[in-house]
Structure 1
């Protein structure tokens, strides 16, 4: 996993567009293709607040773009930098860590997963848990069948839930 994270980081540039309005990926993608004239496709992921991850398929293209600035989009400066870190639980690529998991369909879906940090690299680490920090991760599910937005069970929808009492959609625990 660390090797894959390091490879992804090596292929990327992080960029912020200094603009007071939201920049849309579609328009940025079209402009970048014309201006940067890369030999291979550049994938762009929005990370929010006009921050983008540019993933290059060609190292030469990446180096040329990084050295060729300053760049702009709609008269707004694009600040580019190489990311640091290897994509572990503390420094994930983008806003999300994407995992394929198995789910026990007889239990409610989890909304938060808590990871306990382990110090496996430090041989001198003591058994003290004081320096270890738990990491809470909000879980977002994709490609699920219908499930109950009230109790989180997959076996029924919220209007069929025995615990649902006509709450508004804002009050549903799972959105």
Structure 2
């Protein structure tokens, strides 16, 4: 009980000292609307963060990304180590880059976020990213959008579903774009329960970057895994 009282006193003193860091006179009120030119610039801007290793050669990085995006006109700036902004010349070009991801540099995942004119640059969440997942093993009679969506929801938030033709071959298995938590292990599949008959449906992730087959997480390879040492 005595220790709790001491903590309360410390917290009270800290709050009191923080109260002197700013005053009412330090508040700047902005009542006008965001200028249309600035709004347009924000709409054409994506922020990107390298998920694994922030230390890269900026010149090499911009050269590779421009070539991968087929966009020499995009303006790239480095905000801090591993954090970048990309200003595109058109909405179509920006949306094409967003929809054809995920993108990587040297197997290092680049997580992209749409610029919000009302949100500071340091307040974006880069721990989630959308991946296309191919699903194999669904019987032809049950190859339906609601079944595919139900399986995909076991991985994360479903963004888009592309239904292929039922049949053999990876291009005919259908695929789903799912936003996943990058800090959690990837699921390699899920069980499809059909009238008490359980079938394994395999998940194949497209454009998978640094991935550890030991702990199941993106960011590193098995040889560098700290959770389950390689040796």
Interval of TM-score (by shorter of Structure 1 and Structure 2): 0.3 to 0.5
Q: Which has the higher contact order (CA 8 A, sep 6+)?
A: 1
TM-score (norm 1): 0.46
Higher strand share: 2
Higher helix share: 2
Larger Cα Rg: Structure 1 or Structure 2?
A: 2
